[in-house]
């Protein structure tokens, strides 16, 4: 396939789809992105980019902007919900950079999203195009959109998130697993918190619930929190559903006053159900493959959902640039073999749920350099069963 004439279709302009288009563009490979939303919005959530994620983004040139805009906490606290006793204090800031060669940055989610979108050729970003189905068309793939339009592509990457239509077309309908927990999240000005210190980064660990909060701006004027509680009855997953603030506060009445002061200061909260899926034995078929949450969703416990989607994008982009366009099906197979074991390990660790509560070896996550990872790693299928 020719680098500029090949029709590569990426479904979904989320973190993974945009990162892939950016990596491909850097390699001189053109790709079209089809996104269901009519415009990019400002979703009120923070995102932590751990050192492996910032390292993956460095060659794309957006790290200086993320450093200027986002925030690098000096310390990360893990605390008991009631006494406030620290169970694990993570040296971050300079210590992370010294250890892993790249920073850990927290920011508003849209800062990352818009920085990635800036790297894309505008004419190749097709907004308001919702994929509804796909089917083989000779040795290519036909894509059907909700607006009645159809295109034929030589390679398709489903970066269309947790409820991936591409995944369903390949492997059949399978509902994601409800974890039994819901999350409340919000971002707001720090000066709304009165009478209590706002720590740069802290996780309050309760017996069956927790709160994570961190500063999201270089100016240190905004704070984000996500508060997770069991709620077997609520299964809606939406970025925009408004939550009941009083309900949130009553779920954390036994928490430390500093944690409660933070929750109480929020002007409003969003609420959504936490869903996940099991690791998959295969991510694609022929000329179609999945990326990011479409194939390895993980609830926000390790801050690796977005990071691993970016890693996927780099590995897939490197493979396509390394002769992969000559045999796309083989390239996609190679990509899955390299990526499945690492993302499955992240999914299992996420599900286990105690990441960083006490001293934790994080080198296998943060120390990974996706640009240097070998592209010939053959991972035995048995590794997925660990
Ligand atoms: C509250 C919260 C906090 C998080 N915090 C962190 C964190 O701190 N660090 C971290 O690394 N990760 C974090 N994550 C995880 C991270 O956000 C996801 O893992 C990441 O967004 C996955 O990227 P993606 O590109 O695979 O999917 P998404 O970002 O979900 O993008 C999918 C895109 O596909 C589009 N789409 C869907 N269906 C179609 C269709 N049929 N046709 C066309 N387009 C379609 C969607 O509109 C969307 O734009 C968090 C997640 C949540 C919910």
pLDDT in tens, 134-160: 999 999 999 999 999 999 999 999 999
C-alpha 105 – ligand 1 centre gap (Å)? 18
- CB 305 near ligand 1, within 6 Å: yes
Q: In angstroms, rounded to a whole number, what is the distance separating the alpha carbons of residues 283 and 295?
A: 6
C-alpha 219 – ligand 1 centre gap (Å)? 26
Share of the chain above pLDDT 70, in %: 94
* Residue 382 pLDDT > 80: no
- CB 200 near ligand 1, within 6 Å: no
* Residue 372 pLDDT > 60: yes
Instruction: For residue 6, name the pLDDT band (cuts at 50, 70, 90).
Output: low
Instruction: For residue 243, name the pLDDT band (cuts at 50, 70, 90).
Output: confident
Instruction: For residue 379, name the pLDDT band (cuts at 50, 70, 90).
Output: very low
Per-residue pLDDT tens for 323-351? 999 999 999 999 999 999 999 999 999 99
Overall average pLDDT of the 73-96 stretch: 97
**Which tops the pLDDT comparison, 377 or 167?**
167
Choice from 47, 149, 166, 283 to test ligand 1 binding pocket (greatest atom count within 8 A of CB): 47
Q: Which residues share a beta bridge with 272?
A: 183
Overall average pLDDT of the 30-39 stretch: 96
Chain centroid offset of residue 84 CA: 29
* Residue 70 pLDDT > 50: yes
Annotation marks residue 100 as catalytic: no
Fold of 8-42+110-175+278-385: FAD/NAD(P)-binding domain (3.50.50)
Q: What does the pLDDT read at residue 2?
A: 65
The distance in angstroms from the start CA to the end CA of the chain is 37
Q: In angstroms, rounded to a whole number, what is the distance separating the alpha carbons of residues 39 and 53?
A: 25
- CB 72 near ligand 1, within 6 Å: no
- Domains of the chain: which residue ranges? 8-42+110-175+278-385
Q: What does the pLDDT read at residue 351?
A: 92
Atom 39, ligand 1: residue with shortest CA distance: 160
Q: In angstroms, rounded to a whole number, what is the distance separating the alpha carbons of residues 306 and 359?
A: 24
C-alpha 210 – ligand 1 centre gap (Å)? 22
Mean of the per-residue pLDDT values for the chain? 93
Q: What does the pLDDT read at residue 40?
A: 87
R_g over Cα of the chain: 21
Per-residue pLDDT tens for 289-305? 999 999 999 999 999 99
Overall average pLDDT of the 41-45 stretch: 77
CB distance 190 to 222 below 8 Å: yes
Q: What does the pLDDT read at residue 232?
A: 80
Q: In angstroms, rounded to a whole number, what is the distance separating the alpha carbons of residues 1 and 326?
A: 5
Catalytic entry in 100, 214, 335, 368: 214
CB distance 198 to 215 below 8 Å: yes
Angle at 133 between CA 132 and CA 134, to 5 degrees: 150
- Residue 39: which of 109, 114, 99 has the closest Cα? 114
């Amino acid at each position: 396939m020719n680098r500029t004439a090949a029709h590569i279709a990426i479904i979904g302009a989320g973190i993974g789809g945009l990162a892939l288009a950016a990596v491909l563009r850097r390699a001189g490979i053109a790709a079209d992105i089809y996104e269901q939303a009519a415009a990019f919005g400002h979703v009120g959530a923070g995102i932590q980019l751990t050192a492996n994620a910032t390292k993956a983004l460095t060659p794309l040139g957006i790290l200086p902007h993320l450093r200027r805009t986002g925030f690098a906490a000096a310390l990360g606290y893990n605390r008991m919900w009631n006494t406030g006793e620290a169970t694990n204090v993570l040296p971050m800031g300079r210590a992370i950079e010294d250890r892993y060669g790249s920073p850990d940055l927290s920011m508003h989610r849209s800062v990352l999203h818009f920085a990635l979108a800036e790297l894309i050729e505008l004419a190749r970003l097709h907004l308001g195009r919702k994929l509804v189905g796909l089917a083989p068309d000779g040795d290519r793939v036909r894509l059907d959109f909700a607006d009645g339009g159809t295109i034929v592509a030589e390679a398709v990457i489903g970066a269309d998130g947790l409820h991936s239509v591409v995944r369903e077309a390949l492997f059949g309908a399978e509902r994601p697993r409800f974890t039994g927990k819901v999350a409340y999240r919000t971002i707001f000005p720090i000066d709304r918190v009165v009478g209590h210190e706002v720590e740069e980064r802290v996780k309050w660990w309760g017996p069956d619930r927790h709160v994570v909060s961190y500063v999201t701006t270089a100016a240190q004027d905004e704070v984000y929190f996500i508060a997770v509680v069991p709620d077997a009855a609520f299964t809606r997953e939406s970025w925009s559903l408004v939550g009941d603030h009083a309900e949130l506060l009553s779920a954390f009445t036994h928490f430390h006053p500093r944690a409660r002061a933070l929750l109480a200061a929020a002007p409003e909260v969003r609420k959504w159900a936490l869903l996940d899926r099991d690791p998959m034995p295969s991510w694609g078929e022929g000329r179609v493959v999945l990326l990011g949450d479409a194939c390895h969703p993980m609830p926000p416990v390790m801050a690796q959902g977005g990071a691993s989607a970016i890693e996927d994008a780099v590995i897939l982009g490197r493979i396509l640039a390394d002769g992969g366009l000559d045999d796309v099906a083989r390239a996609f197979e190679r990509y899955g073999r390299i990526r499945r074991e690492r993302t499955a390990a992240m999914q299992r660790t996420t599900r286990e749920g105690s990441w960083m509560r006490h001293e934790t070896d994080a080198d296998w996550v943060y120390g990974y350099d996706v640009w240097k990872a070998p592209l010939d790693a053959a991972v035995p299928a048995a590794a997925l069963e660990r």
